[in-house]
Structure 1
Amino acid sequence: MVLLLRRVACQGARVAGRHRFFSDFIRPGGNVSDAQSGKLRLAFAASCMPHPDKVAKGGEDGYFACPKSRSFGVADGVGGWADNGVDPGLFARRVLCLALEDINANPDGEADLQK
């Protein structure tokens, strides 16, 4: 992967009514000529805007993007866990945290999905 670009905005319970922005990043050495040459390129953007009824808990979805491992993960549609007494937002964020930890712990950057 030659070029990785990310722009992320997130609105959560701790910053009610305000957006937090993380700066863009481009992998060193990546440039327009690389992108035009047909080499693989990934642009990743994400936004968390919880339903107004779920803002107090930070919403139910989660995501991560890791330029070092060139990986990203999204947990969406986990609301059904609430029927089992599990906080869907905590579940989504924990699963993604464990996935990213596993990706970073392996030298080849692959998660062990059997864990």
Structure 2
Amino acid sequence: MALADRIAVLDKGRFVQIDRPFDMYFHPKNMLVADFFGILGMNFMRGKIKDNKFAFARCRFDIPLCIKKDTIRKIAREELVLGIRPEDIGFSTTYDKSKAVAVVNFIQKIPPMVNIICKIND
């Protein structure tokens, strides 16, 4: 990606997205592109919007302010997919009820990174 001005992603012989590397990473057109770009794959969670929060299992996340209120109303009853990149996930040793609680199942050290597999709320 560092050497290209534009990149094309194909799926089954069809162009999915032709874009700058920055836009492929930060504005992917679909889950295939989102998962393809980055050091590790993107984490996907299915859920719905409840009380202006993205809810899945027993977790609820605040919805970013960049989503317009009329858009939230339109998608409020639909099942949605939230994508979170591994580098945007943080850990804490203190409990905060507004955050998701997870159990660490596996730790793999791949210098300079550490791959941590967690399970969130069953």
Normalised TM-score (structure 2): 0.26
Q: Which has the higher helix share?
A: 1
Normalised TM-score (structure 1): 0.27
